[in-house]
Amino acid sequence: MRTFGHQRPVRDEQGKIVETVPSPVCAITREELGGQFGRDRKRRVIFTLEAADVVAMRLAGTTRTLRVQARDVYRWALQAAALNFARKVREYKKSMTLKTARQRARKELGL
């Protein structure tokens, strides 16, 4: 598995490693950003794993790069998952409250 700050060896004619050069891992998204990103809606995002545990992101066809620590990306993902779970719990509680109210109403009417 390649890591952040991956180095690729450079060899001489005898096959000995002379030096190493940076070879960051890059990937591009399959889908475009979409309508909520205005004029960038048709662009895809390129992710790069750089040295010092940095995730770099830039839009395809541009040079502006956003750099974030990997732990901050993980923290954001945890927070997003927790908020999504809390939303699901709220929806479940709301549906159960409505169900209970309907059952009480039916019981009071003798149905």
| Domain spans, the chain | 7-109
**Average pLDDT, stretch 83-94?**
97
Residue with tokens 């909520």: 36
Q: Please give the Cα distance from 111 to 99 (Å, whole number).
A: 15
> Could you report the per-residue pLDDT of 41-72, keeping only the tens digit for each?
999 999 999 999 999 999 999 999 999 999 99
**Average pLDDT, stretch 80-104?**
96
Contact between 87 and 79 (Cβ < 8 Å): no
Q: Please give the Cα distance from 31 to 9 (Å, whole number).
A: 33
The pTM assigned to this predicted structure is 0.72
* Burial class of residue 109, CB neighbours in 10 A (0-12, 13-18, 19+): exposed
Query: What are the structure tokens assigned to 89, written together?
Result: 């719990």
